[in-house]
Amino acid sequence: MVLYLIGLGLYDERDITLRGLDAVRGCARIYLEAYTSILLCDKLRLEALYGKPVVVADREMVENDADLILEGADQIDVAFLVVGDPFGATTHTDLQLRARERGIPVRVIHNASVMNAVGACGLQLYKFGESVSIVFFTDTWRPDSFYDKIAANRKLGLHTLCLLDIKVKEPNLEALCRGKTIYEPPRYMSIKTALEQLLEIEEKRREGAYDAGTLAVGMARVGAPDQRVVAGGMRELMEVDFGAPLHCLIIAGNVHVVEEEILGYYRIGQAGAAAGAEGAAAAAGGGGASTAEALAVGGGEGSS
């Protein structure tokens, strides 16, 4: 039959398109990819809307056991749900290739992605260069491959979207060494952590790709009612509490006068910068669990 790759949008169960919803309701099995990004609602709300159970697909299933997802898809319709747009991560391209190799037709239903929704801050999308990923540093691993890409973008006057790391259902390495599988609690990189790491690498390399005063834009919970956007120098943004995840960061290149006018509304101290702050505090203090939190339930010894 068909493997559907369906984008869910950015916020909650209602962001799916009508065409996507029709496809999901017609599928015999439904998988929710929950490690490249998360919805800001839990799985139960998806199941209530679809009228069907949803299987959460973690990194291990998608990357190592893709055959489980494709099993029987030549005879039944299977849906693979992706937060944002289906092709926001290379993993989903790989799933499509595997399906086609097995003669399974693939249909894609697109949706909004952070890659285009960041235009809400006022920076024009056609002036963005290559996006980069900022991963959590460890004591022994502090990668800086993003630095050269940011430098190249800024040399051309282009903005850089920094996608910030999330860790969902990550195994504890010490426990693995003892032959046990224990999963760490979910972690979501904040704008402050990303800026600290970026400035650490600039201090190390000293090539002038950016500095503490470079204009940047922090965005939290893009697409949600309590979305927050704040523009300012990199050091200034480290003092802003952006609230609950997910966060992303833009390092500005050359700013056009029209972009600057819109950014002015989101500058620290302006009305736009404060918008969403109260909702962010409420989200941080309670509310429905995200799909990642639902995935983490029972994440103790031996869980999978």
Binding-site residues sit at 10, 85, 88, 113-114, 164, 222, 247
Q: Rounded distance, CA 296 to CA 304, Å? A: 10
Per the structure block, which two tokens stand in for 270? Answer: 């302006």
Cβ–Cβ under 8 Å, residues 134 and 165: yes
SS3 132: strand
DSSP state of 289: P
Residue ranges at the known binding site for S-adenosyl-L-methionine = 10, 85, 88, 113-114, 164, 222, 247
Q: Rounded distance, CA 108 to CA 96, Å? A: 9
Q: Which residue has the tokens 């092709």?
A: 87
Half-sphere exposure of 103 (CA within 13 A, CB side): 3
Q: Rounded distance, CA 43 to CA 50, Å? A: 11
